[in-house]
């Protein structure tokens, strides 16, 4: 049912290969937005043009991601989006990194080292304030994280965040199921790492960091979903960013 999609339940015990990653992204798009269509992906001609411009071949997994959802800007381009093929570029660090995703102000990039391009589903690195660091061990997993993150920070008022008090940093597993993604670093550096995802029907939650200064970001599909988090996680509305939603019933689609 739309509005009741549960990312943790949909992912089950994790994602073992890129086929399962694309299946999850299809299910997520259907449950959170609307089903993916043929027009949501770039065409082969556009990808081949980018390859010719760069003088390299895209890894299979990255090519499949662009073909599947690369044009779905209304759903997956809000905060740190995937670059369109025409804007793919090679960063000179680490012997060359093919960058395919950018932080919204260009402060960081995600990419694949040129030495790994021949792998079908190669590892992804991220440019952080601490230098380039391993992000995910597969492009397909990085794409799953991307669609979750872009949904979390999508437009609409049904989002909130708070700095978790020290006695609440370990609270989330008591109330929400963890999404089966591995821990990964924030591009902003170690102080906000690792990142972990949780969910419930109609809810996405991301915890940035495990220290006394960790942050919790929440996106709900309805006012009831969002307010449920604020009543279950210790703290008052005044401790959250912004004020209590009062008039929004659902995200605009």
| Average pLDDT of the segment spanning 118-127 | 97
CA dihedral over 5, 7, 147, 164, signed as positive or negative: positive
Mean pLDDT of the chain: 87
DSSP alpha helix (H) spans, 29-156 = 44-54, 60-69, 73-76, 139-152
pLDDT digits (tens, 9 = 90+) for 76-112: 888 899 999 999 999 999 999 999 999 988 899 999 9
Q: What is the pLDDT of residue 191?
A: 67
3-state secondary structure of 187: coil
* Whether the model pTM is above 0.95: no
The mean per-residue pLDDT over the stretch 107-123 comes to: 97
**Backbone φ and ψ of 101, nearest 5°:** -145, 145
Least confident among 3-12, 24-33, 83-92, 159-168? 159-168
Q: Are 59 and 139 in contact (CB under 8 A)?
A: yes
- Nearest 10 degrees: CA dihedral of 52, 54, 55, 59? -90
Element (H, E) at 226: helix 223-232
> What's the pLDDT tens digit per position in 214-225?
888 999 988 888
Delimit the domains of the chain by residue range.
Answer: 7-150, 156-239
What one-character DSSP code corresponds to residue 104? T
CATH class of 7-150: alpha beta
Whether the CA torsion 193, 198, 204, 205 is positive or negative: it is: negative
Among 11-15, 123-127, 208-212, top mean pLDDT goes to: 123-127
How would residue 158 be classed by pLDDT, with cut points 50, 70 and 90?
confident
182-195 average pLDDT score: 85
Partners of 196 in beta bridges: 207
Predicted confidence band of residue 249 (pLDDT cuts 50, 70, 90): very low
Does position 64 have pLDDT exceeding 60, yes or no? yes
Instruction: Tell me the mean pLDDT in the region 187-211.
Output: 88
pLDDT digits (tens, 9 = 90+) for 27-61: 999 999 999 999 999 999 999 999 999 999 999 99
Distance CA 161, CA 239 (A): 9
């Amino acid at each position: 049912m739309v509005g009741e999609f549960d990312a943790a339940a949909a992912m089950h015990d994790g994602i073992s290969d890129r086929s399962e990653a694309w299946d999850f992204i299809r299910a997520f798009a259907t449950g959170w937005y609307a089903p993916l269509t043929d027009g949501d992906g770039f065409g082969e001609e556009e990808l081949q043009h980018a390859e010719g411009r760069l003088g390299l071949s895209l890894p299979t997994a990255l090519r499949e991601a662009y073909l599947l959802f690369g044009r779905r800007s209304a759903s997956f381009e809000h905060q740190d989006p995937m670059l369109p093929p025409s804007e793919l570029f090679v960063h000179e660090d680490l012997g060359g990194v093919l960058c395919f995703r950018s932080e919204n102000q260009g402060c960081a990039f995600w990419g694949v080292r040129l030495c790994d391009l021949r792998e079908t589903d190669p590892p992804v690195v991220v440019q952080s304030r601490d230098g380039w660091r391993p992000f995910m061990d597969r492009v397909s997993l990085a794409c799953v994280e991307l669609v979750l993150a872009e949904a979390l920070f999508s437009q609409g008022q049904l989002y909130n965040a708070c700095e978790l008090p020290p006695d609440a940093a370990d609270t989330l597993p008591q109330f929400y199921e963890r999404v089966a993604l591995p821990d990964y670093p924030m591009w902003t550096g170690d102080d906000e790492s690792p990142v972990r995802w949780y969910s419930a029907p109609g809810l996405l939650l991301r915890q940035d960091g495990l220290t006394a200064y960790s942050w919790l970001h929440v996106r709900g599909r309805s006012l009831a979903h969002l307010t449920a988090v604020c009543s279950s996680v210790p703290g008052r509305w005044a401790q959250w960013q912004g004020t209590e939603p009062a008039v929004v019933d659902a995200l605009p689609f």
